[in-house]
């Protein structure tokens, strides 16, 4: 089947919910992807911060094969060794004592919202249900997580939204304090807003939020769906900002391409859930748990946290050099680890399209931010190839 036939079939069969890139991909290996024509691309997106170990990782493929021969799914009505081993491993990263497994970032955030509300109402006995979030945030596309998201464009046509969410500008501590009411249960945020344009939150602002939560008895929820799993040069991004959330969520890279999410909390807050209060059919199945456990093993064994930090520093430094060469095009380079955004003053779509032609896959966030989320295994040589291509593209613009 050629590219034109694939495009025609997609238009005929699928809901038009995606503006797809003009590529039909058929296989991958490491940091490389190959389209239907056999053209090779260096992947600077990793499936939107999902394939942290790259594509077709041999150990991941082996685990999938071996586990599929033993046990795929039995539901959460039963104990399974794979899920418990994953829980033990994941909880070893950070100061959390309980985990709930699900299938996506939206589900993890949905669980966090429900846990915060139920903890306040059932354990603390307080009529608290409101969640304060930040403008520019993105927490998912279920009705509750969409309501929590601080971007109006993704909410159009879905009214009425779920009640109980208040959004304030990031960095404005006075607006946040003013938004707190006797019904406020939690403050929910991303320390780096990915979909919002790779915007890094101010550390003093986050520390003030932490202080307010402690002083007023509110819960702090940190969405690590995109920033977690060593993406930013630490296993959890929030640790670089010296804050201690009560609840965090993760997904995307947890099973390196298989659908999986998780919500982690302290022992105290975990009391908000009881048998029957929340559930999922597929969450934490033996297959995805076995894969995720191997992902954690590889991240730690291969030093990918430090590698992400070093490669991110290299990439950011090289992009800053390009900013000095092309100040009329590049407004800012920002981010941490291998989560980097380059804000463009103009020609964003042209630059993105030209990079595709040169054989590099990346992404535009907020229309003018070149978002770079390569696999954590990316090499210095691959980074250099990307920056050389980007410099060539920028130099061709007038």
| Active-site residue, 246 included | no
| CA 56/CA 51 separation, integer angstroms | 9
Selecting among 100, 138, 235, 241, the annotated active-site residue is 138
Residue 82 burial (CB count, 10 A): 21
Asked if residue 358 lies in contact with residue 181, where contact means CB atoms within 8 angstroms, the answer is no
Using CA atoms, how far residue 122 sits from 213, 256, 270, 272, 323, in Å, is 19, 36, 12, 7, 53
Q: Which of 72, 22, 58 is nearest to 357 (CA)?
A: 22
Do the bridges between strand 369-372 and strand 98-102 make them parallel or antiparallel, or are there none, so unpaired? Answer: unpaired
Selecting among 199, 252, 294, 336, the annotated active-site residue is 252
Give the single-character DSSP code of 119. Answer: I
| Active-site residue, 98 included | no
Asked if residue 362 lies in contact with residue 33, where contact means CB atoms within 8 angstroms, the answer is no
Selecting among 129, 223, 316, 360, the annotated active-site residue is 223
Q: Which of 284, 286, 299, 280 is nearest to 337 (CA)?
A: 299
Q: Which residue has the tokens 């800012």?
A: 332
267 burial level (CB within 10 Å; 0-12, 13-18, 19+):
exposed
Strand partners, 333: 342
| Active-site residue, 252 included | yes
| CA 232/CA 235 separation, integer angstroms | 7
Catalytic residues: 138, 223, 252
């Amino acid at each position: 089947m050629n590219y034109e036939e694939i495009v025609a079939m997609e238009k005929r069969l699928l809901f038009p919910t995606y503006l797809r890139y003009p590529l039909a991909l058929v296989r991958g290996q490491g940091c490389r992807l190959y389209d239907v024509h056999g053209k090779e691309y260096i992947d600077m997106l990793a499936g939107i911060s999902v394939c942290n170990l790259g594509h077709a990782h041999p150990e991941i493929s082996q685990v999938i094969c071996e586990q599929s021969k033993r046990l795929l799914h039995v539901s959460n009505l039963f104990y399974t060794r794979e899920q418990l081993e994953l829980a033990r491993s994941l909880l070893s990263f950070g100061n959390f004592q309980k985990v709930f497994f699900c299938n996506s970032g939206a589900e993890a955030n949905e669980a966090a919202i429900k846990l915060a509300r139920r903890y306040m109402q059932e354990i603390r006995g307080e009529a608290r249900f409101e969640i304060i979030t930040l403008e520019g945030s993105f927490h998912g596309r279920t009705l509750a997580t969409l309501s929590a998201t601080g971007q109006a464009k993704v909410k159009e046509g879905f009214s009425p939204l779920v009640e109980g969410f208040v959004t304030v500008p990031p960095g404005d501590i006075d607006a946040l304090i003013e938004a707190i009411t006797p019904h406020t249960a939690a403050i929910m945020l991303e320390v780096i807003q990915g979909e919002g344009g790779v915007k890094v939150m101010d550390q003093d602002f986050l520390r003030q939020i932490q202080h307010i939560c402690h002083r007023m008895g509110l819960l702090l929820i940190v969405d690590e769906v995109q920033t977690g799993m060593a993406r930013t040069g630490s296993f959890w991004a929030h640790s670089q900002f010296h804050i201690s959330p009560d609840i965090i969520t993760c997904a995307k890279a947890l099973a390196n391409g298989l659908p999986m999410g998780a919500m982690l909390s302290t022992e105290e807050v975990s009391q908000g859930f009881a048998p029957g209060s929340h559930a999922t059919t597929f969450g934490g199945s033996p297959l995805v748990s076995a894969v995720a456990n191997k992902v954690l093993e590889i991240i730690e064994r291969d030093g990918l946290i430090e590698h992400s930090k070093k490669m991110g520093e290299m990439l950011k430094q090289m992009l800053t050099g390009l900013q000095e060469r092309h100040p009329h095009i590049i407004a800012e380079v920002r981010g941490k680890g291998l989560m980097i955004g380059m804000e463009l003053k103009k020609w964003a779509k042209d630059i993105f399209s030209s990079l595709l032609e040169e054989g590099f896959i990346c992404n535009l966030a907020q229309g003018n931010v070149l978002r770079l989320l390569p696999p954590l295994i990316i090499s210095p040589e691959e980074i250099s190839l990307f920056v050389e291509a980007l410099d060539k593209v920028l130099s061709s613009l007038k």
